[in-house]
Amino acid sequence: MTAAMVENDQASEGRPWDYLLQTWRELDVPEGWRAEIDEGQIVLVPPPHAHHNGIAAKVQRRLYRDLPEELEIYQTLGIHVAPLDKLYVPDLVVMPSELIDAADPESSDPMDAADALLIVEITSKGNAREDRTKKYRAYARAAVPMYLLIDRFDTRGAMATLFLEPNEDGTYKRSDAVPFGKPLTLPEPFGPTLLTADFPA
C-alpha cells in the first residue's frame, strides 16, 4: 500500500521545518497509522501486516533478555533526524529511559535520533526501498550507532542486516547480513542472538 502524503504548502515560505512539525503535532492520525516527515512532506504510513508486528514482538522479546536496566525499547516513538530535518517513527527504538522520563509532558516533540543506541526497521512491501536507502542514510547521518534492517522483501531472499559505525556521509562502515534462518548476534550493550528462523517470512 502506498503511503498518503500531506503536502507542505508553505515549504518555500519562512521556516518549513517549524511549520511541518507543528502540523505533525496537530494531526489526527487514524489508529494504527504513523505520520512521518520526509522530503518536505508529512507522509502517512498505513498499518503493517501481522507478520511485521510478529517480527517486532520477537525482536523486542530477545532484546529484553540482556538489556541494561537504564535502557528501554520504544515503539511508535517519533525521532528527529536533525541534520536532515526528517522525522521518522521506527518500529523499535532503544534509548536511555532517563531521556524519555525527562521529556516535557506538555510537548509532543520527537526525540533526537542521535540519542538512540539502536533503531530497528522492518520492511513492508510499500516502504522497503525507503528503509534500505533514505532511512539508512538518515540514521547514519544522525550518528545512530546501530541500525537493524529486517527486510522480508530483499531480492536475495528475506534478510536481517545490522549496520554499525555510522559515517557523516550517510553510510555505515560495517554491516553483518544473514538470511532468515541463521542467527544474528548483536554487540554490546545488547548481546542477544536474534533467532531469525523464528521470523515469519
**Residue 195 in grid coordinates:** 533467532
Region 9-29 average pLDDT: 77
- With a cut of 90, say whether residue 31 has pLDDT above it: no
- With a cut of 70, say whether residue 195 has pLDDT above it: yes
**Residue 115 in grid coordinates:** 540519542
Distance CA(62)–CA(24), nearest Å, equals 32
Q: Residue 5's pLDDT band (boundaries 50, 70, 90)? A: low
pLDDT in tens, 32-86: 899 999 989 999 999 888 999 999 999 999 999 989 999 999 998 999 999 999 9
Q: Residue 175's pLDDT band (boundaries 50, 70, 90)? A: very high
Give residue 143's pLDDT.
97
Distance CA(79)–CA(89), nearest Å, equals 6
pLDDT in tens, 110-158: 999 999 999 999 999 888 999 999 999 999 999 999 999 999 999 999 9
Q: Residue 109's pLDDT band (boundaries 50, 70, 90)? A: confident
Q: Residue 1's pLDDT band (boundaries 50, 70, 90)? A: very low
Please tell me the pTM assigned to this model: 0.89
Distance CA(131)–CA(159), nearest Å, equals 13
Other beta carbons less than 10 A from residue 37's beta carbon: 26
- With a cut of 50, say whether residue 8 has pLDDT above it: no
Phi, psi values for residue 100, rounded to 5°: -70, -45
